[in-house]
Amino acid sequence: MLLGVVFYALSVNSKKKKERQILQVLAGVTGNDDCKISQYDILNHAVIGFDEFSNSVLVSRNVAGEESSQIINLAEIQRCRVSELSRSFSTKEGTIKAFDRIDLVFVNKDKNKPDVSVEFYNAAIDRLTLAGELQLAAKWCAMVTDKIALF
């Protein structure tokens, strides 16, 4: 019984430490420790979060040792959509859909600025099977759409 309590306490401590590290990474994207991350998720090679202080979506990626970050100010965004690049195959059992890429696309209000794309899945660098990336992109699309509607 005591051993179970010790393992539980260690796992809670480890989870809180990991959460603090994620929040530090997202705060590092803005360069501001005053950001207020209200929601975040971990992707394959990235972390995405929402900063209520600046009303922005923050993304930090690390692919093959190359780190990049994005700040998407929702005041500049007209709408958000999920983009899927996929192929279909016919088999004896039916049609199979294979995803090559899943992106969350932020469409700018200013037509002179390019749309901003956040990669949620890429078959070229991620594992071959999806692990909730499509649902996660849909979740973030709905959340961003709700935030944009407030403007």
Q: Are 69 and 63 in contact (CB under 8 A)?
A: no
Q: What does pTM read for this prediction?
A: 0.77
Helix (H, G, I), strand (E, B) or coil at 1: coil
Q: What is the pLDDT of residues 64-107, one digit of tens each?
A: 777 888 899 999 999 999 999 988 888 888 888 888 899 999 99
**pLDDT per residue as tens digits for the range 39-57:** 889 887 788 999 888 899 9
Query: Which residue type is seen at 104?
Result: L
Using the predicted structure, report yes or no on whether residue 31 has a pLDDT greater than 50.
yes
Q: Is the pLDDT reported for residue 7 higher than 50?
A: no
In the predicted structure, residue 3 carries a pLDDT above the cut 80: no
User: What average pLDDT does the structure give for the chain?
Assistant: 80
Q: What percent of the chain has pLDDT over 70?
A: 76
Range(s) of the domain holding residue 83: 2-149
CB 151 within 8 A of CB 55: no
The pLDDT-based confidence of 23 (bands split at 50, 70, 90) is: low
**Residue 13's pLDDT is what?**
52
Residue 9's pLDDT is 45
**CA distance linking residue 148 with residue 77, whole number of Å:** 7
Number of domains in the chain: 1
DSSP 109-147: SSTTSPPEEEEEEETTTS-SS-SSHHHHHHHHHHHHHHH
